[in-house]
Every structure is written in structure tokens, then in C-alpha cells.
Amino acid sequence: MSSEAGRQARFNQLAEDYGTDLYRYAMWICGNDALAKDLVQETYLRAWKALDKLQDVKAAKSWLITILRREYARTFERKVPKFTDVENVVVADDHELEPDDRTEIRLLRQGIMKLAPKYREPLLLQVVMGHSCKEISSLLGISKSAVMTQLFRAREQLKANMQKDGVTGNVHGLF
């Protein structure tokens, strides 16, 4: 296998392993299907160009998420994106939920999106992407204790806001 073929195979494996996670995270941060797909494509483009810099395959997911976050920030430098209300975004689910569950999830998503970015981003990285506090610390460039504090405050604010809005119970183990 030639060096270029090996590089291509390595990249294809990364895209296959993390494509769904990248898209899911992009949808959470931008709330727009087309922009999320564009962000993932730009992430792949930048990852392809810098693939030789990825030394540790175990760090690939964090590396790709960092690229995606930076690419999303670049969208604000180029132009102001058109926003889509998160309520109107339909993300295919593996199983059909009951109406009460769908309402609860919609309210949870609204509540998360109302959090200040300082609290929303670590919460999404943990809950949606499954990152540890250490990984979030590395991704956001803040201390692990700051991540833990922000996660605690995000959950407390979210819980208080949802209780104020009449949503009770443990929303799919988030609290």
C-alpha cells in the first residue's frame, strides 16, 4: 500500500468513526442542517490537510471537534449566519418517542440553548459528545476545575429554568 493510499485509508477511517458525532455536535452548536453539514465538510477538509500532524489516534475525536469549533467561529468572521430555531430542526431518531417525551426533549433543548455559551458548550461537549472533564478542559483551554464548575452551574441553571417552566423529573439522566 502506497503512502498516499495509507493516508487516504486513515482519513476514511476517521470520517467513518466520527462523522455522526461531528454532525450531531455541529447541529447542537449552530441549529441549522445545511450549516452543520458545511461545518463537517470544512472540518474534513482541514483535517485532510493536517492529517500528518495527528500523532495519537486516540486524540482524533478531540482533534476533529476542535477543528469543527474553530470552523464554526470562522463563520462569524466571514458573515453572520442565518439562524434556525432549534425547535424546527428535525434530527432523525433511532426510535419513535412518546409525545410527552418529545415535548420534554424539545423543552430540554430550548433550555440548553438559553444557557450562556460559557455553560452551554461544556454541557454539550459532555452530554452530546461524551467527553470527559479532562477532554473538555483541553478542548476549551480551561482548567479541569473550571469545567467541573461550569458543568455544575449549567445543570443547576437548566434544572431551575425547567422547573420554573413546569418541567419536572429527570430528563433522560441529565440532572
One-letter amino acid of 75 = T
- Rounded Cα distance, 12 and 6, in Å: 10
Report H helices in the chain.
3-30, 33-49, 60-78, 99-114, 117-127, 133-140, 144-164
The mean pLDDT value for 7-31 works out to: 90
The answer, as to whether pTM is greater than 0.75, is no
Percent of the chain having pLDDT more than 90? 22
Contact between 30 and 39 (Cβ < 8 Å): yes
**Other beta carbons less than 10 A from residue 166's beta carbon:** 7
pLDDT for res 82: 54
pLDDT for res 90: 56
Mean pLDDT of the chain: 81
- Joined grid coordinates for residue 130: 461524551
pLDDT for res 42: 92
Considering only CA atoms, which of 128, 124, 119, 110 is closest in space to residue 147? 119
The mean pLDDT value for 153-160 works out to: 89
pLDDT for res 168: 60
Percent of the chain having pLDDT more than 70? 78
